[in-house]
Structure 1
Amino acid sequence: MDHATHEIVTFYEDRYEEATRLQRRPQSRLERIRTLELLRELLPPAPATVLDVGGGPGAYARELLADGYRVRLVDLVPGHVDQARAGTPPIDAVVGDARDLPEPDASQDATLLLGPLYHLHEPADRVRALREAIRVTRPGGRILAAAISRFAGPIDMLATARFGDHVLSDAERLLTNGVNDASIGFTHAYFHRVAELTAECEAAGLTDVVIHGVEGPGWPAAEAALPGPHADATFDGALRLARLLSTEPEVVPASAHLLVAATAPPR
């Protein structure tokens, strides 16, 4: 395990509670609702087999199991795998790296990468993870992969009243290299531009690539509306706007998260 990977595992094991993340904030609740809607829209019908790579404690895997899918989860963090196995219903889960999946060729009807891409700094590693997803997915199967928008961090800081000169300075740096500063909160991460994400998917060999904006452009308003009297109405409006503008190219990068929907090519 290299140094960055070790630090990512330590972050999630010792410093960050991933299991409750999708319920804590308007942005994360929008992420959960829209991701589930997109999974149900884009995945093949149940009982298809789905490999959930980087699936964490199993928030999406459990929903898919309830929908009738056959799901196997792979995650880099042993504590996440333990949580996935121990939950209700228990998930078939193993420790593994997205760049070297412990799965046979063409064994899945669909593969999810809802975390690994934004924890890999190097383009070659991200393309390798996408190629691994292709390898384990049957030709013509679906591959869905998440990324974090290049602009998510400073927008989040502004929406939650944490903006300042230091944030602006870091935003300027991010524009040039996309690499998160792991010393100021989040762990090692890479933030994508849409064109760059599309190019990496195409370099890996994916076809029919479409990029969705998950939370839509209204998520900062939903954050800023707390704890005021219009919080619920603003959240509802942000969700409706996210659905309407999911693939509108000009506003996709305003989402905190991007979701690739693509097809595994023929062998």
Structure 2
Amino acid sequence: MATSIDILDYYRRGGEHARLAWGVGRLEYLRTLDVLTRMLPPAPAVVLDVGGATGVYAEPLAAAGYRVHLLDLLPEHAAAAAGRAGVTALAGDARALPVPDGRFDAVLLLGPLYHLLDRADRVTAWREAARAVRPGGPVVAATISRYASLFDGFAKGLFGDPDFRPLVERALADGRHLNTRPERSWFTSAYFHHPTEPASEATEAGLAVRRVVSVEGPLGFAGGRLDEILADPGQTELLLELSRRVEDEPSLLGASGHLLTVAGRPRTAARPADGDGVGSAAG
């Protein structure tokens, strides 16, 4: 179950360190939290944040009263997350979660799926999330759109580099965004989902799909104008309000940089007794 070295190196070099703090990353962050507040069971539910990095989503969820346990493949990420208020964390792989069956009220997969290039690995991650969540509980997973590098390449002027187009062509052909030039500032190797694929994977893993929603929508590629909108609290709130209105629109799914798929574990088994769990790691 090896993970590509270039992916691990990308994050160890600080890739994505501040991405969610400004611009399109800020919109992704705000929209993701907005969806989570509506899709998660009420606090103090116990949430497993798989691939949660240093805890950028775990921390606000903990502040809202959730009991958050985070797992990340990189031990240094898990250590940093464990330092956030209200968050417990351990190193762990999305394909073999070190947790008991049905222990959590909700499971988040906000990073792992697009770093698993093989479908079998992604279905395994979905299946592990389904095992970890209680019957009826939600699993919320993030994926990158098949067309993200195409739109982003024009928005950021990346096609001036002759090595960038082959990267986009491969992603459009089979979803594999294979960055063979890690010295570039491009995103690391990843799998870019067609909008129909996340639901198919979740269903294969035994989950019942509830919703697939766009995160940023086309505004994610708006460049500097987006910075102006997000600098204005009134405009930001308007953007979030209207984005909710169209987040389920199928025709917009492929025009968003990221998608969130919300699925649920069927109510076919009893939840473990309260004494079963992962000890202090789950709160």
What's the TM-score, normalizing by structure 1? 0.90
1:250 pairs with 2:246 = no
Q: Match for residue 131 of structure 1?
A: 127
1:53 pairs with 2:50 = yes
Please list the CA deviations of residues 42-101 of structure 1 after superposition, one character each: whole Å capped at 9, or x if unmatched. 0000011000000010011111111111110000011211211223x1520000000000
Q: Number of residue pairs matched?
A: 261
Percent of aligned pairs with the same amino acid: 45
1:85 pairs with 2:82 = yes
Alpha-carbon distance in structure 1 between the residues aligned to 2:149 and 2:39: 28
Q: Match for residue 24 of structure 2?
A: 27
Mapping 1:1-267, distance limit 5 Å: 2=2, 4=4, 6-13=5-12, 15-24=13-22, 26-87=23-84, 89=85, 91-164=87-160, 166-184=163-181, 185-221=186-222, 223-225=223-225, 232=231, 236=236, 239-265=240-266, 266-267=268-269
Code of the residue aligned with 1:225 in structure 2: it is R
Q: Match for residue 281 of structure 2?
A: none
Alpha-carbon distance in structure 2 between the residues aligned to 1:224 and 1:154: 18
Taking structure 1 as reference, are residues 238 and 220 closer, same or farther at Cα in structure 2, changes over 3 Å only? farther
Alpha-carbon distance in structure 1 between the residues aligned to 2:33 and 2:83: 22
Do the aligned partners of 1:75 and 1:97 also contact (CA within 8 Å) in 2? yes
Structure 1 residue 163 displacement after superposition: 3.0
Structure 1 residue 8 displacement after superposition: 2.2
Please list the CA deviations of residues 92-134 of structure 1 after superposition, one character each: whole Å capped at 9, or x if unmatched. 0000000000100000000000000000000000000000000
Taking structure 1 as reference, are residues 67 and 238 closer, same or farther at Cα in structure 2, changes over 3 Å only? closer
* C-alpha RMSD of the superposition: 2.2
Alpha-carbon distance in structure 2 between the residues aligned to 1:191 and 1:3: 17
Taking structure 1 as reference, are residues 147 and 230 closer, same or farther at Cα in structure 2, changes over 3 Å only? closer
Do the aligned partners of 2:50 and 2:107 also contact (CA within 8 Å) in 1? yes
Alpha-carbon distance in structure 1 between the residues aligned to 2:3 and 2:205: 25
Do the aligned partners of 1:154 and 1:163 also contact (CA within 8 Å) in 2? no
Structure 1 residue 20 displacement after superposition: 1.9
Structure 1 residue 159 displacement after superposition: 1.3
Alpha-carbon distance in structure 2 between the residues aligned to 1:46 and 1:230: 31
Q: Secondary structure in 1 aligned to 2:137?
A: strand
Structure 1: which 5+ runs fail to align?
none
Taking structure 1 as reference, are residues 208 and 196 closer, same or farther at Cα in structure 2, changes over 3 Å only? closer
Q: Secondary structure in 1 aligned to 2:263?
A: strand
Q: Secondary structure in 2 aligned to 1:97?
A: coil
Do the aligned partners of 1:217 and 1:238 also contact (CA within 8 Å) in 2? no
Taking structure 1 as reference, are residues 36 and 175 closer, same or farther at Cα in structure 2, changes over 3 Å only? same
Structure 2: which 5+ runs fail to align?
270-283
Code of the residue aligned with 2:21 in structure 1: it is Q
Code of the residue aligned with 1:181 in structure 2: it is L
Taking structure 1 as reference, are residues 225 and 68 closer, same or farther at Cα in structure 2, changes over 3 Å only? same
Do the aligned partners of 1:218 and 1:242 also contact (CA within 8 Å) in 2? no
Structure 1 residue 208 displacement after superposition: 3.3
What's the TM-score, normalizing by structure 2? 0.85
Please list the CA deviations of residues 144-164 of structure 1 after superposition, one character each: whole Å capped at 9, or x if unmatched. 000000111121121123234
Structure 1 residue 196 displacement after superposition: 1.6
Taking structure 1 as reference, are residues 231 and 211 closer, same or farther at Cα in structure 2, changes over 3 Å only? closer
Alpha-carbon distance in structure 1 between the residues aligned to 2:230 and 2:154: 17
